[in-house]
């Protein structure tokens, strides 16, 4: 059993480990994927600023070739500064320049300041991976053309407002257009490659996410199955242990019953002999005491035996119809002879019940002896019965300490005893439990009303026979 428990525990630990590991992977995977994808988005944005600025620069350069207007040259330089900034940042990132210098280049390239950190991180981390290597190659090629445009601008600037020969003008314009087309193609390729990379990343992300989520689900399923199996096994174990305990109680109380009965008989004879034989009177009180304790022991064994019968469903009832009044009067009369408190019958209602008289006697007697035990300071116990809603209700009222409201629902539980009295009064806490089971098996009801400091009324109700 211990070995199998260890194995169960080990496999539950392994499953919990897998779930933790998979959750960790999913969290970090998603964190990095979001970082990568947002950096790629920043590069695609960069490309659109780059492309727009390059087109504007080209437009002003052609204007400058045609007009030699210095304003066009200035606009050309203004727009060309954008791809040049990006280019400087790229070279810086490839050559391991410090971050401040790279950031300056990227800002000149009109990138958003919040994106710079991720852009630099992506470049540095993935620059040697195939997709990014290809994209960087396109970017580098585009930058070479940006340099070419810059050189053409500088060349025309060298004319210093002198008119450019028409032949040179035409050749320069063709050259600029060719460079512009090549630049656009390279930028397009740059964006396409990054787009493809982000699609592949999203695809893998989805795949890996599904894989780990499935792993978590399967592990959780296994975990639940194991836990359920363990629960079922422990439940079976508890049931088996309870059965063994009930069996032991049943055998023990059975075996105790026979010697106790013969002991009781012998003690009763001995008590009579001791009382009546001259010279033996001094042993009489000891025999009375022994007799009293044997009676108590017999009651305890009887209670234990009843409990085992209730648990195994073997509480037999010998049903017959009788007048409940008669039984109450009989018990009160009998108890009044030995009781220290006066048992007072207040009123009795007429009514026949169909029940086992011995078992009802047992319940009523238990109420009386509890009332006596738990109200020793008072001198009377009241008994009455009344008819209500097709039932006859029998009540035993004492004037003892009473019971707190919160404890009343627990009184009829097995082995329940109120803390305040459990050390001063002997008992097992089984009497009321047995009473409840007896009354339940008669389709009746049982209960108690009480007020602390004033006393308690224990009652049971049995259906009246028409
Ligand atoms: P036992 O008397 O052997 O302890 P019972 O099942 O008969 O067991 O009673 C359960 C508990 O209910 C008692 O321990 C006692 O605390 C409380 N009890 C029962 N009857 C009375 C009463 N008349 N007044 C106060 N407390 C009572």
Indicate the domain borders of the chain: 2-226, 320-463
For the chain, 466 residues long, give each residue's pLDDT as a single digit of tens: 556 667 777 888 888 888 899 899 889 988 988 888 899 899 989 888 999 999 999 999 999 998 888 999 999 999 999 999 999 999 999 999 999 999 999 999 999 999 999 999 999 998 998 889 999 999 999 999 999 999 999 999 888 767 778 888 899 999 999 999 999 999 999 989 988 988 888 888 889 889 989 988 998 888 888 889 889 999 999 999 988 888 888 888 888 888 899 999 999 998 888 888 877 778 888 888 999 889 889 988 999 889 888 888 888 899 999 999 999 999 999 999 888 899 999 999 999 999 999 999 999 999 999 999 999 889 999 999 999 989 999 999 999 999 999 999 999 999 899 987 777 788 889 999 999 999 999 999 999 999 999 999 999 999 999 7
Ligand 1 within 6 A of 308 CB?
no
- Partners of residue 381 on adjacent β-strands: 343
10 Å Cβ neighbour count for 135?
A: 26
Q: Which of 367, 374, 459 gets mutated to test ligand 1 (max ligand atoms within 8 A of its CB)?
A: 374
Predicted local confidence at residue 278, as pLDDT: 78
Ligand 1 within 6 A of 348 CB?
no
Ligand 1 within 6 A of 153 CB?
no
DSSP letters spanning 128-176: TSHHHHHHHHHHHHHHHHHHHHHHHHHHHHTTTTPPPPHHHHHHHHHHH
Q: Which of 413, 427, 430, 455 gets mutated to test ligand 1 (max ligand atoms within 8 A of its CB)?
A: 427
Distance (angstroms) between ligand 1 centre and the Cα of 6 equals 44
10 Å Cβ neighbour count for 253?
A: 20
Residue of minimum CA distance from atom 3 in ligand 1 = 427
Distance (angstroms) between ligand 1 centre and the Cα of 143 equals 97
User: Is pTM, for the whole model, over 0.85?
Assistant: no
CATH no., domain 320-463: 3.30.565.10
DSSP letters spanning 354-406: EE-HHHHHHHHHHHHHHHHHTTTTSSEEEEEEEEETTEEEEEEE--SS---GG
Predicted local confidence at residue 235, as pLDDT: 95
Q: How far apart, in whole angstroms, are the C-alpha atoms of residue 84 and residue 142?
A: 10
Predicted local confidence at residue 166, as pLDDT: 87
Predicted local confidence at residue 4, as pLDDT: 65
Nearest to 153 by CA among 176, 136, 131, 134: 176
**Ligand 1 nearest-atom number relative to CA 371:** 23
């Amino acid at each position: 059993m211990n070995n199998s428990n260890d194995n169960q525990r080990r496999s539950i630990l392994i499953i919990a480990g897998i779930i933790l590991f998979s959750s960790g992977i999913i969290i970090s995977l998603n964190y990095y994927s979001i970082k990568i994808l947002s950096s790629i988005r920043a590069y695609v944005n960069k490309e659109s600023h780059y492309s727009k600025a390059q087109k504007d620069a080209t437009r002003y350069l052609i204007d400058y070739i045609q007009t030699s207007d210095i304003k066009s040259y200035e606009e050309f330089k203004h727009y060309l500064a954008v791809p040049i900034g990006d280019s400087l940042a790229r070279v810086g990132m490839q050559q391991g320049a410090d971050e401040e210098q790279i950031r300056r280049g990227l800002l000149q390239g009109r990138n958003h300041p919040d994106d710079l950190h991720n852009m630099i991180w992506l470049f540095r981390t993935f620059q040697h991976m195939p997709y990014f290597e290809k994209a960087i190659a396109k970017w580098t090629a585009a930058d070479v053309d940006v340099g070419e445009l810059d050189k053409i601008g500088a060349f025309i600037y060298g004319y210093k407002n002198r008119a450019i020969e028409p032949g040179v003008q035409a050749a320069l314009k063709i050259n600029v257009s060719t460079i512009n087309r090549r630049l656009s193609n390279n930028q397009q390729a740059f964006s396409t490659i990054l787009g493809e990379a982000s699609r592949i990343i999203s695809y893998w992300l989805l795949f890996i996410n599904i894989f780990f989520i499935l792993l978590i689900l399967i592990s959780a399923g296994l975990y639940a199955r194991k836990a359920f199996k363990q629960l079922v096994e422990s439940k079976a174990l508890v049931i088996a242990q309870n059965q063994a305990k009930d069996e032991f109680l049943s055998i023990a109380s059975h075996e105790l019953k026979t010697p106790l009965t013969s002991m009781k008989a012998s003690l009763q004879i001995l008590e009579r002999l001791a009382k009546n034989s001259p010279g033996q009177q001094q042993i009489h009180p000891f025999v009375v005491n022994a007799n009293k304790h044997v009676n108590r022991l017999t009651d305890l064994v009887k209670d234990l035996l009843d409990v085992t019968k209730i648990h195994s469903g073997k509480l037999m009832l010998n049903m017959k119809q009788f007048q409940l009044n008669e039984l109450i009067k009989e018990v009160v009369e009998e108890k009044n002879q030995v009781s220290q408190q006066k048992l007072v019958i207040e009123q009795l209602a007429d009514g026949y019940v169909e029940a086992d008289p011995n078992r009802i006697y047992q319940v009523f007697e238990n109420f009386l002896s509890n009332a006596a035990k738990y109200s020793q300071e008072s001198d009377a116990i009241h008994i009455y019965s009344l008819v209500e809603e097709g039932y006859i209700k029998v009540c035993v009222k004492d004037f003892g300490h009473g019971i707190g409201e919160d404890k009343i629902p627990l009184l009829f539980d097995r082995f329940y005893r109120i803390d305040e009295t459990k050390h001063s009064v002997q008992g097992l806490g089984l009497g009321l439990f047995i009473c409840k089971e007896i009354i339940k098996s008669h389709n009746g009801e049982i209960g108690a009303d009480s007020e602390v400091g004033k006393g308690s009324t224990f009652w049971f109700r049995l259906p009246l026979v028409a």
